[in-house]
Copies of this chain bind each other. A is one copy, B any other.
């Protein structure tokens, strides 16, 4: 936040609050930078200036540590027969870094109790992860949602509920356990 004036901080917060509302109400495809700017009472150019594209506003609204397209690239670029391991290592990296771990904790907590966050998460998964991954891999979207369910359940059991021995297993043990199983969603 160095060098940012107090008025800028407030404006950024107003834009993100408007974005969460617009994405929640209209969905990812229906929401527009123009609509978000109107609700926040600012010029659309300012939204672009602060955040960039709609995808980047969306990532900032959910406080994601990376953009959806960088997630999609990390999943789809590389050998198809190692996709299970690639996803699990990406997942473990995100949950190991203290900053993104806090973000994901907050997301998991709020997604079960806050319908606006649940709707944002649904948009995020359907339009910016599952759709593009499904298209890039020429795989039915249903199979990609299956893989997503394994990832989210792993977060719940290992980090939120902390069930042993999965909670204390090393990252390598988790890769060895889950990667080959997850792989089956991608190579039916």
Contacts and interface: CB of A to CB of B under 8 A. Distances in A.
Interface string A153-168: 1111110111111100
Interface band, chain A:
35 or more
Q: Determine how many copies of this chain the complex contains.
A: 2
A149 B145 contact: no
B113 A146 contact: no
Contacts of A111: 112, 156, 160-161
Interface of A: 108-109, 111-113, 118, 121-122, 125-126, 130, 141-143, 145-146, 148-158, 160-166, 169, 173, 177-178, 180-182, 184-185
Given A143-B177, A152-B157, 6 more contacts: A111-B160, A111-B161, A118-B161, A126-B163, A152-B161, A181-B181
